[in-house]
Amino acid sequence: MEQSIDVPWQKMVVLLRRLQAEPGYYAPRLTPERLAAAIQERRAVIRWCDGHIAAITVLWPTNRPDWMELGTVWVGEGLRGRGLRNELMAEAVALAPNGVSLFLFSSVGKIMQSAISLRFEPMTTEKYRVLWWASEVGVVCRLPNSIHPMFIRGEGPFYRRPEKEGERWLFIRP
């Protein structure tokens, strides 16, 4: 497996078609032009195997220059379970410029576990001004229900564990 920033257009199109067919990826940004820009600006971590893109994650810009989204975390089926996801996400975190905070959305338990190990934390309205932040960053329309803590009668807020597969969470790494 190798890392490269010289990605043929057709390889990007094949990858993007694959990602568009899978649930959970933010389709509006999955275009060859946007992916090419991420690669050229060194905001993408890519692994190749047998001439194909085998894994990828990207730092996507937002409306605020001090925030980027760690997104499009994908590892091909044949390479899953080998720790590659953790490696890709750690490399993407290292690519973030000084002074830039990161966030990610995910409903995949393994990605959420990797995020927590990289010092991301669940973002909820109990701890943060989420709606203001999301409107500034440009992701308010993508906020998951998990940003709202659950209250149990007679008790304080109850936080569900974010590792639950299938439930979308927002994580930040300030």
pLDDT at 15 over 60: yes
Q: List pLDDT tens digits, range 70-85.
A: 999 999 888 888 889 9
Instruction: Assign residue 79 a region (left: φ > 0; alpha: ψ between -120 and 50; beta: otherwise).
Output: alpha
Q: List pLDDT tens digits, range 79-119.
A: 888 889 999 999 999 999 999 999 999 999 899 999 999 99
Q: Give the list of residues 6+ apart from residue 168 with CB closer than 8 angstroms, or none.
A: 105, 106, 107, 144, 145, 146
Q: How many domains does the chain have?
A: 1
State pTM to two decimals.
0.85
Q: What is the CATH number of the domain that holds 79?
A: 3.40.630.30
Does residue 2 belong to any structural domain of this protein? no
Domain that holds residue 25: 9-173
Q: List pLDDT tens digits, range 30-56.
A: 888 999 899 999 999 999 888 888 999
Instruction: For residue 150, name the pLDDT band (cuts at 50, 70, 90).
Output: low
Beta strands 44-49 and 121-122 are unpaired
Q: At what angle do helices 32-40 and 9-21 cross, to 10 degrees?
A: 120
